[in-house]
Chain A
Amino acid sequence: MFRRVLGKTLGFLGYTVQYGCIAHCAFEYIGEFVACSGPSMEPTITSHDVVFSERLSRHLCRIEKGDIVIAKSPFDPHMNICKRVIGLEGDKICTSGPSDVFKTHQYVPKGHVWLEGDNLRNSTDSRSYGPVPYALIRGRVCLKLWPPHNFGALNQSPTGRIVKRSD
């Protein structure tokens, strides 16, 4: 009797461990669901939207300009930020505001990306804390899941700040 209970408990634990590991692999290497909050990506993503971010692009280093990414915040690793990639390593970013007389530029260092929110007026992004290491990126947002009337792929950047390819 006791042995049967023990056997069943161990079997249950074994299945829990196995399915927990499969879940970890799925969330770590395939994708995860993210609930966004904050106004920095309006109108593309509004607060309380749920999106799906896939991890394959990050592991295969295929993040491109114009992608919306989820990344760990450089100043607080427990927090995640959701921003758009404006420039990759080697790109020249215009860091002065639109009303400035003298334009200043900055080059994105190797292994870093330049992130900006779509809501330029209400977003803390690389314009304030500088380029973000690529290794802090967690995944690329590919699908919006909630609210249902906005289901589907995400829009292109409304800001026109993405660095053109320099040939």
Chain B
Amino acid sequence: MAQQAGAGRRYVRAFVSGFFVAVPVTVTVLDRFAYVARVEGASMQPSLNPEGNVTGSDVVLLNRWSVRNYQVRRGDIVSVLSPKNPQQKIIKRVIALEGDFIKTLGYKNRYLKVPDGHFWIEGDHHGHSLDSNSFGPALRTPWRARCSVKCCVWCSHGVSCQVSLGLVHGRASHIIWPPNRWQRIEPSIPPERMPLLNWHADATEDEEKD
């Protein structure tokens, strides 16, 4: 009888100590190193969700360690905390960094210079019906009404806008589901969306463009 009580207590103690190890470690890994998320929506086609939600959404691995110093590159696919809804994340491609002059598609200003500490994101699918092209400036799109906020499900409806670097959440490095779409995501910008000019252009950047 006493042995059973002792065994029970030992079990509880082992469970509690295991719990206090597993939960903080898991939370720290998800916050600092890597995050897994399912992509919803069609505005990143054909890179992500090429068949829409018919055959199942893509699941991507987000690298949070590489953006710990807010360093993103042009062409990266990044997840960003939405400036319009702090509990939602949007997943888009980085088109331009601070100081770049870009030509926008359907934004209120035709040409603009990305301010300091901000970067410009766009979805790959410019012809999507809920893109800012058809509804006017990005700030007034009604797409948010259709996004359901669920745990680990991310909305990628058409939004092109400048966001503050502090909102960057992670960089999508790999597609890990479905298995026939396993691949590493490479940074690339469509040639017609390249920035026109960089205000802070120095010698190294000129060499990269060549």
Spot the interface stretch: B5-13, B20-28, B102-110, B151-159: B20-28
B28–A135 CB distance below 8 A: no
Chain B interface bracket (under 10, 10 to 19, 20 to 34, 35 or more): 20 to 34
Among residues of A, the one whose C-beta sits closest to the C-beta of B31 is: A28
For the complex formed, measure the closest distance between the CB of B29 and the CB atoms of chain A, giving whole angstroms.
8
Chain A interface bracket (under 10, 10 to 19, 20 to 34, 35 or more): 20 to 34
Spot the interface stretch: A37-45, A67-75, A118-126: A67-75
- Inter-chain contacts of B116 with A (CB < 8 A): 75-76
Q: Which of A13-55 contact B (CB under 8 A)?
A: 17-18, 20-22, 24-25, 28-29
- Inter-chain contacts of B147 with A (CB < 8 A): none
| Top 8 closest pairs, chain A to chain B, by CB | A72-B166, A77-B166, A75-B117, A135-B81, A21-B24, A111-B84, A133-B83, A135-B86
- A78 vs B164: C-alpha distance in the bound complex, in angstroms? 12
**In the complex, per-residue mask of B152-190: 1 if CB is within 8 Å of any chain A CB, else 0:** 000000000001111110000000000000000000000
B166–A73 CB distance below 8 A: yes
B28–A77 CB distance below 8 A: no
Q: A75 touches which one: B20, B31, B115 (CB < 8 A)?
A: B115
Q: What are 12 A-B contacts defined by CB distance under 8 Å?
A: A18-B24, A21-B25, A24-B27, A25-B28, A74-B117, A74-B118, A77-B117, A110-B85, A111-B82, A112-B83, A133-B163, A136-B167
B32 at the interface (CB under 8 A from A): yes
A-side interface residues toward B, CB under 8 Å? 17-18, 20-22, 24-25, 28-29, 61, 72-78, 109-112, 133-136
Chain B binding surface, main DSSP class: mixed
B-side interface residues toward A, CB under 8 Å? 20-21, 23-25, 27-28, 31-32, 69-70, 81-87, 115-118, 139, 163-168
Number of A-B residue pairs, CB cutoff 8 Å, is: 73
- A27 vs B85: C-alpha distance in the bound complex, in angstroms? 24
A73–B117 CB distance below 8 A: yes
Given contacts A25-B24, A25-B27, A75-B117, 8 further A-B contacts (CB under 8 A): A24-B27, A25-B23, A75-B118, A77-B164, A77-B166, A77-B168, A109-B139, A134-B86
B25–A17 CB distance below 8 A: yes
Among residues of A, the one whose C-beta sits closest to the C-beta of B69 is: A78
- A112 vs B165: C-alpha distance in the bound complex, in angstroms? 15
Among residues of A, the one whose C-beta sits closest to the C-beta of B144 is: A110
Q: A135 touches which one: B32, B70, B82 (CB < 8 A)?
A: B82
- Inter-chain contacts of B81 with A (CB < 8 A): 133, 135
Among residues of A, the one whose C-beta sits closest to the C-beta of B89 is: A135
B27–A135 CB distance below 8 A: no
- A29 vs B20: C-alpha distance in the bound complex, in angstroms? 15
A110–B84 CB distance below 8 A: yes
